[in-house]
Each structure stands twice: as structure tokens, then as C-alpha cells.
Homo-oligomer: A and B are copies of this chain.
Amino acid sequence: MDIERSPLARPFPDMPPVDGVTLRIARAQYKNWDRCDLTYAELAEGTAVAGVFTRNICCSSEVELGRENVKRGTARALIVNAGNSNAFTGYRGREAVEQIMTQVSDHLGCAKEEVFVSSTGVIGVPLPKDKARDGVAAVLQTEPCGWEEAASTIGTTDTFTKGAHAAAMLGETRVELCGIIKGSGMIAPDMATMLGYIFTDAAIVPAFLQELLSEATKGSFNAITVDSDTSTSDTVLAFATGKAGNPLIQSFDDPGADAFAAALKDVCRQLAHLVVRDGEGAQKFIEVRVNGAVSDDSAHRIALAIANSPLVKTAIAGGDANWGRVVMAVGKAGEPADRDKLSIGFGGHWAAKNGQPLADYNEVPVAEHLRGEDVTLEVDIGLGNGRAIVWTCDLTHGYISINADYRS
């Protein structure tokens, strides 16, 4: 089945090289297709690494090993396999990952645990060791490539190639942050894992990089949802080569730490938005803003309940300012709320305030807003100061076509 490019797609941005990062791609032929499907990033000695991983407890061996090895704090290489997720494959799947780690670490003369592996694609089929071995051998011999080629090679069912860039001034030193990501929700034929990688030449200690990445994840990768389903392989890794030569950042007390944190958040948010923009069947990009909850966490859970509601998502797909469905979603979130204090609006126009439809509600500007590609839905819980923003897409016939009509 051919899947059309998302109408919400964004062009691949100009992204500068990151000192200490060399990208290469090759064909491992994990599937019978005419494309590169193995991506390799070689990282300078001393590169710091941080990572966040899926909370799905039926996770892949790649996630198990990555979660463990990221604790050591250093990385020398990343391998990404596309076409086979190696998930739910037992010990045979784990052997394939360990083989790759050994092969690459032998080549680089580094610790096996400094080689990070991700896989995405069909599940239940162990990653074929022979194809992995030949593919890795091939990729180590190829010429370096650019960001867009690497971003394209990690993709599977993505309808466009995704990258994001930010720069930050750490005192007098400019550092670059370049990110690539793949994922379009959980998509046919199996699960469209979200795999994201951020590379920077900043010098930063691993523990603080982890702290900043975890914090940035809250307002980005953990604040998006396409269909409430969660891949068994979702992974975001940040690599910092230190080649920019800035004074090492160890905490927020160090000059430039705030600027770096802001740039990292920026890149994470850009990347997260691109995944939503490639949501299966997405026609609209939806921002759900919740204010007035009893806490930020409570607001976040309410926002997710709204963003995951099939009825809210189909209403917006239909251009219907159906605030009743929003009330329903708030009510089922399991968080403190009071029907008679709820206010709901679309695109800056209130439709209901304090539990009742507005007497002078004017549907015209709201309908106009809902016809657009970017929709904002605002909810005021009226109880406290907790707030959160979550992004999602609408639920359309395209989602069903991609996920139900496909037969392998």
C-alpha cells in the first residue's frame, strides 16, 4: 500500500555538521527492498550519552541493553536497523544485538557497552545475524553521508524525513544541536517505533546531559500522542562529543548551561512535533492546552485524556467544535475537576465557561479556526494553577486505511 506524504509534513531543515560525529549508511537488506536500511554514527572518544526509553514493559532487547549501558555515560557508536524491530524475539534477538555491539567495538577498539543499537520494523522475527554482520561490515567502509540521508535511512513507514537544529552560545563558544527522528505513531505493518537521536558538539557531563534530556522529554516526547498506543522500542538518545571546546558543563551553575538546556528543549520539541505531523492519517495538528488544574501533573493527565479521546479527535477531524466531548474526556481522566467550573475554548474563543455554554457564543470564528491545519483546544479546569500542553493529530479515515486495510 502506498501511503501519501502527510499534508502536515515539513521540509528537512539545513543542518550543519557536528564536530565529532560521522554518519554512514548501508544496505543490510533486512527486508527485500531497494533502499539503505542500516545507519551508523561514529562518535569521538569521550562522547557523553544520555537516553530515555519506552515504559512499555514488553520492550525489546535493544531497549534493555541501551537502558543499562547508558548508565556508563559514554558512547562511541550508534547503529540503527530499519525493517526489523527485533522485538519479542527472545534470546535469539538479544544475541543479534550483542553481535553488532561486539563487531563495532572490535572495529573501534572501544568497550562493547559504548555501542548503542536500535531496531525498528517487523516484530517477532529475530534480527538475522548474517545480514546484520554483512551490513555492519559494509557500513564501516562507506563514505560519510549527511543528516538527511541518515534521517531517511532510519525511517520505516514515515511519510517524510525528519530533522531539527538549534544552536546555543555557551559563553563565546557556539555549539550545534542536530536531531533526527523517525516515527509516525504506531503504524502498520507493525509498530512505528519512535527513534530519536540528538547530536551536539557541546562538552557536558553525562549525568547533567541525562538530567536535561529527561526534563526536555516531559514537554516534548512525553507530551505527544497519536493513538495512545506505545511502542515496545521507543528510544531517544543524546550524544555530546565535546568537540566545541566550551568549558565543561556540569550543572546549572556553569555559564551557558541554561542556553544549552533551552536549545535541547527546542530541538526535542521540534522533533516531537514532526512525529505528530506524520501521525497516521493526520490532517490537523492539534495543541491541547490545559490550565487551572490542581497540579502540572494533573493537567498533563487531563490533556492526554483529551488528546487520546477518539471522540474528540474525530470531532476535530470533522471540523466540529464539540466541547461536550471535551467535557466527557476531562471527566474520565480520573483527575480532580468540577463540571461547574470547567471552561472550554477553541483557537482563543471560549465556547463554554464555568460549566455552561456561553450565551453569546459565536460559532463563526471557531468554525473558521477548525477549518485550518493547526487547531488549538483550551481547557480551564478552574481549580488551581497546574498547566500542561500536549500535541496530537486528528483521527481520520486515513488512520483506519493504514492500520486495518493493510494486509501483509
A: which residues have CB within 8 A of B? 55-59, 87-90, 122-125, 186, 189-191, 227-232, 308-311, 314-315, 317-320, 322-325, 327-332, 337, 339-340, 342, 352, 355-357, 394-397, 399-401, 403-408
Please give the distance in Å from A393's CB to the nearest CB on chain B: 13
Given contacts A57-B337, A319-B407, A406-B320, contact A329 B124 (CB under 8 A): no
Contacts of A327 in B (CB 8 A): 58, 87-88, 123, 232
Contacts of A396 in B (CB 8 A): 400, 404
Please give the distance in Å from A65's CB to the nearest CB on chain B: 14
Given contacts A311-B186, A324-B191, contact A229 B90 (CB under 8 A): no
Contacts of A331 in B (CB 8 A): 56-59, 230, 232
Contacts of A191 in B (CB 8 A): 311, 324-325, 328
CA distance A355 to B406 in the complex (A): 25
Given contacts A318-B406, A395-B404, A407-B319, contact A56 B90 (CB under 8 A): no
Interface of chain A, main secondary structure? loop
**Most interface-central of A59, A125, A328, A403 (chain B CB within 10 A):** A328
Q: Which of B320, B352, B404 contacts A317 (CB 8 A)?
A: B404
Q: Which of B229, B311, B328 contacts A58 (CB 8 A)?
A: B328
CA distance A395 to B322 in the complex (A): 21
Q: Are B56 and A328 in contact (CB under 8 A)?
A: yes
Please give the distance in Å from A392's CB to the nearest CB on chain B: 13
19 CB contacts below 8 A, A to B, read A56-B332, A57-B331, A58-B331, A58-B342, A59-B331, A59-B339, A87-B324, A88-B327, A88-B352, A90-B356, A122-B324, A228-B228, A228-B309, A232-B328, A314-B400, A314-B404, A320-B406, A395-B400, A397-B401
**Most interface-central of A229, A309, A330 (chain B CB within 10 A):** A229
- CB nearest to A318 among chain B residues: B404
- CB nearest to A317 among chain B residues: B404
Given contacts A56-B328, A232-B328, A310-B399, contact A90 B340 (CB under 8 A): yes
Q: Which of B186, B318, B405 contacts A328 (CB 8 A)?
A: B186
CA distance A403 to B58 in the complex (A): 33
Contacts of A357 in B (CB 8 A): 88, 124-125
Leading 8 A-B pairs by shortest Cβ distance: A58-B331, A314-B403, A56-B331, A314-B404, A318-B404, A123-B324, A317-B404, A230-B332
